[in-house]
Structure 1
Amino acid sequence: MAEEAAAKSESKLDRLRKRRPWLDHLFRANERYSQQYGAHYAAAVTYFSVLSLVPMLMIGFAVAGFVLSSQPQLMDELKTGITEAVPGTLGNTINEVVDQAIESKGTVGVLGLLTAAYSGLGWMSNLRDALTAQWGHAKADLPFLKTALKDLVALVSLGVALVVSFGLTAIGAGFAELVLRWVGLDGVWWAELMLKIGTIVLALVANWLVFLWVLAKLPRRPVGWRSAVKGAAAAAIGFELLKQVGTIYLSSVTSSPAGAAFGPIIGVLVFANLVAQYLLFITAWTATARENLVKEPPPAPAPAVIRPVVEVRSGPSPRAAAGLVGAGLLLGALFRRR
């Protein structure tokens, strides 16, 4: 009867979660994401991500200044590409900014490096704290200098991983196009389709390697590579989908002059926040897998209460007294006969 009553009290969703382990896993991940303030951490990561864009662009302009100063033809092609890509007078404004940044490339590069170090450390610190929280670990009180040094090493390592990832994707795509030209299949539709599929697969593999490193090495407590494999695969696929959606969104919001001015900024904010939330949710999904769940110890029994019972009697009970009197009379009668 008790089991039937418990079964009736379960909701349809509870029964569905028992029958579908993957659905139960998603609900566990969502509960962990909400309990560990995933949206708040994603907002902090988004803020520092956008803040880091400015110094990174400054460094990019400085590098471009050193490279393009002796290549005026490439400089003209860059300005022409900006003018064609950005509608209205915004393209001319960006070209003026590029000219000023290239002219003062030394100062811009130094300021960019200093600002990038500050904003990058803030971004990495919040990202590592966010990933650690999704694993259910409380934020520990760590030494400032030691933590900052570790965050700097992690930031540089992540930058190297991203460069290697994008480099592999670009080199792989370029090499595939070169092979098509060599074999005479350049322009053939099925060969172009295979090249497109291969490029996507290569990008997924590169993203998987990056996310595998992020999920396994960025949390402040060690995480096994095996635990992060599935999460990295899901993150890589989701990131590619988000990139496609972001491309469509940016092309739609920049179709008007007002959208060209404000659309990219809003688009970067939205895209960065979506990526941050998705990454933290994937981390929560990885942390709540069956093999990573920490078994809760059985509840401790209630404390034992010892209550000694002490009875103090002043004399024998009436029944015992009557028995003693009877025994005395019997013994007395026996002694008299002797």
Structure 2
Amino acid sequence: MWERINAIITWIYELRFMRAYGRYGWARGYLLAGGIAYSALFAIAGALTIAFTAFSYTLGGNKELQQTLFETVNSSLPGILKLDGSSSGLLDPNDLIIENPINMASIISLLVLLWSAASLMTALRIAILGMYGITYLPRPFVKAKLLDLSGALMIGIGALVTVSLVTVSTQFSEIVLDWMGIPGVVGNYLIYIGTLLIALLVDTGIFMFLFSVMCGAHPPLKDLVRGSLLAGVASSILRILGTTVVSSVSENALLAPFAAIITLLIWVNLLAQVTLVASAYVANPPAPGEPTKSQLEHAEEYPNYVTQTVKRTLEWNFDPMTGVIAPSPTDDQEDLLAPPWSGIKAAWMKRKIAKVEDKVTDAQRELDAARHAYAQAAWDAYSKKSTPTTSDKLAQADPQDVGKRLAREQRDSE
């Protein structure tokens, strides 16, 4: 019976979603989502200011479309805007429109707002890469910032596309439903479902852009579509629940003054968690395993981490970017792993082991130096015996390249 239960538990943990959630946990997704939500408080107002100002100077003459945009933003970020003269909400959308953007003060303000939006997307990019298990991607600073801004721009374009499609489809659907004679209640439900599907498709496209182009990962297309669709569905559910939470919190006399800010914090945090879990789902990682022997063997030492202060720790196998102790290539060997032990005798024996390790390190350095000296002498002798050449290309050949060629020829002959 217990074997069957353990088999079921093992099967559950091997499911793709559980493996993704395990990666999310080990990559500290909760902390990253909290940091993203905190950064969003400083960036959302700037992003909305840029978006509303650009909209007012391009399509602002269409008041119906403008109102639809405000309502869409308010549904995406529940309770952030004051609409229809309501006192609930954090910001008046009209206050976010810069009346004269072509002056030095406005240009500087816009640059600051752009930097805030880019910083938020940078935090999101780093968090998404963490779900993929990628520590670092070599990118020029300017290119990285432009790609981060492209993520913010894609979100803004997505909101505008959603508003436009919803407006057009709603008006067209009303005409079609009236022509087909479908009752108003049923027609309203069909229109509502249609708007949800449009928002889902746009959200899925945005997540595909964030999970691949902006962050620089190269997942298989099948995984990318599945994970982005999962994120789109989850964000749509959050959007619906967010509006419900705002209305319920607003009825609480104690929380009503803070309903918008509380809801915004919670909602952005949940959306960040959805984004990170979905990116881990795209990554499709293996199930988390147990720590290797080489990762545990230094756990009882002082220090038990890599530090410049104690030079012998620099000989451990560790990630040069993060300093995290990495598995050793010799972990597959049958080495003895002793249980935890403390006391005077244990400390004395550990100190003896440390001294021997230092001697081994010194001996390894001497061995490397001797091998290098031997190789250099061998190449000198080889050069003296070689036939002189008049070819500049051969004369400038790197001995290492020649050595690689000789080794390859030797392997081919075998």
**TM-score strictly above 0.5:** yes
Q: Which residue of 2 aligns with 1:37?
A: 28
Q: For the structure 1 residues 150 and 173, does the alpha-carbon distance in structure 2 shift closer, same or farther, using more than 3 Å as the test?
A: same
Amino acid at match of 1:146: K
The answer to whether the 8 Å contact 2:219/2:283 transfers is no
Kindly indicate whether structure 1 or structure 2 has the higher relative contact order, using CA contacts under 8 Å at least 6 residues apart.
1
The CA distance in 1 between the partners of 2:137 and 2:60, in whole Å, is: 49
Q: Which residue of 2 aligns with 1:151?
A: 148
* 2:118 pairs with 1:117: no
Larger CA Rg, structure 1 vs 2: 1
The CA distance in 2 between the partners of 1:171 and 1:119, in whole Å, is: 33
How far did residue 200 of structure 1 move? 2.4
* 2:243 pairs with 1:247: yes
Q: For the structure 1 residues 172 and 298, does the alpha-carbon distance in structure 2 shift closer, same or farther, using more than 3 Å as the test?
A: farther
The CA distance in 2 between the partners of 1:152 and 1:70, in whole Å, is: 27
Q: Which runs of 5+ in 2 are unaligned?
A: 71-81, 287-326, 336-414
Q: Which residue of 2 aligns with 1:198?
A: 194
The CA distance in 1 between the partners of 2:27 and 2:333, in whole Å, is: 30
- Give the match's secondary structure for 1:44: helix
Q: Which residue of 1 aligns with 2:136?
A: 139
Higher helix share: 1
The answer to whether the 8 Å contact 1:32/1:134 transfers is yes
The CA distance in 1 between the partners of 2:166 and 2:200, in whole Å, is: 9
The CA distance in 2 between the partners of 1:144 and 1:74, in whole Å, is: 37
Q: Which runs of 5+ in 1 are unaligned?
A: 1-6, 291-295, 304-338
Which residue of 201, 217, 221 maps to 1:221? 217
The CA distance in 1 between the partners of 2:198 and 2:63, in whole Å, is: 34
Q: For the structure 1 residues 187 and 280, does the alpha-carbon distance in structure 2 shift closer, same or farther, using more than 3 Å as the test?
A: same
Which residue of 248, 256, 262 maps to 2:258? 262
Q: For the structure 1 residues 200 and 232, does the alpha-carbon distance in structure 2 shift closer, same or farther, using more than 3 Å as the test?
A: same
The CA distance in 1 between the partners of 2:157 and 2:55, in whole Å, is: 19
* 2:86 pairs with 1:85: yes
Q: Which residue of 2 aligns with 1:236?
A: 232
* 2:175 pairs with 1:178: yes
Q: For the structure 1 residues 226 and 166, does the alpha-carbon distance in structure 2 shift closer, same or farther, using more than 3 Å as the test?
A: farther
Q: For the structure 1 residues 109 and 57, does the alpha-carbon distance in structure 2 shift closer, same or farther, using more than 3 Å as the test?
A: farther
Sequence identity percentage: 23
Amino acid at match of 2:153: V
The CA distance in 1 between the partners of 2:63 and 2:279, in whole Å, is: 47
* 2:161 pairs with 1:169: no
Q: For the structure 1 residues 298 and 216, does the alpha-carbon distance in structure 2 shift closer, same or farther, using more than 3 Å as the test?
A: farther
Amino acid at match of 1:228: L
- Give the match's secondary structure for 1:127: helix
Amino acid at match of 1:133: G
Q: For the structure 1 residues 185 and 195, does the alpha-carbon distance in structure 2 shift closer, same or farther, using more than 3 Å as the test?
A: farther
Amino acid at match of 1:35: W
Q: For the structure 1 residues 63 and 255, does the alpha-carbon distance in structure 2 shift closer, same or farther, using more than 3 Å as the test?
A: farther
**What is the correspondence of 1:55-94 to structure 2 with a 5 Å cutoff?**
55-59=46-50, 62=53, 82=83, 84-86=85-87
Once the two structures are superposed, residues 126-145 of structure 1 have per-residue CA deviations (whole angstroms, 9 ceiling, x without a partner) of 11111111011113464423
- Give the match's secondary structure for 1:145: helix
The answer to whether the 8 Å contact 2:49/2:96 transfers is no
How far did residue 243 of structure 1 move? 0.9
The answer to whether the 8 Å contact 2:158/2:202 transfers is no
* 2:12 pairs with 1:16: no
